[in-house]
Structure formats: C-alpha cells, structure tokens
Amino acid sequence: MPPKKDKARSTVETVGASDDGVCFRCEMVSCGNPRCKQCKDAPSHGPYWYAYAFIEQRTITAYVGVELDEDKGRRRIAKKARAMGLRRRASP
C-alpha cells in the first residue's frame, strides 16, 4: 500500500488537463441520502477522484475512485465517449 497523502484528504485538488484534454478532480461528494447527518450542511463523503473531459462541447465525467488512477480514468472517459457517439477531437 502506498502511503496516504494527507493533503488529498482535506483539500480538493485538480490535476491539470494533459494533451488529450482529460483532467482529474478530487472532490467531496454528497451521498444523496436526506437522512445522512454528515451531508446535511455540505457534501462530506470522499474525497473521490473524477475524470473530466471536454469532447465536441460535451462534458464527460467518470468516477475514478479513492486513489487517482489516470489510466483507469482515461479508459472510462473513452468508453463513455464511445457510448455517447463522440469522437476525440485529436482524431482525424
């Protein structure tokens, strides 16, 4: 197990977009349960990593997990993009 980054536990981070336009954000999330005391005032679960991509003016998001895994995020973005019938802008 790699050592936990304490910073990621309290700070919402963004890993900037790379060449392929995919960026990663670490976010606190709400579980959506109206009876959850933790989420009463603010989303309080996580933080979890999400991948974001902007393809053909559409925003695609994909859940990555507790640990940042860029390959996994890119695979999930690519799968969603295909399902939505979008093509990566870099493709000819």
- Given the rule CB under 5 A, which residues bind Zn ion? 31, 36, 38-39
Nearer to Zn ion, 40 or 82 (CB): 40
Backbone angles phi, psi at 47, to 5 degrees: -75, 150
Which residues share a beta bridge with 59?
Answer: 54
CB of 88 to Zn ion, least distance (A): 35
Using CA atoms, how far apart are residues 83 and 77, in angstroms rounded to an integer?
10
Nearer to Zn ion, 40 or 75 (CB): 40
CB of 65 to Zn ion, least distance (A): 18
Using CA atoms, how far apart are residues 70 and 91, in angstroms rounded to an integer?
20
CB of 53 to Zn ion, least distance (A): 27
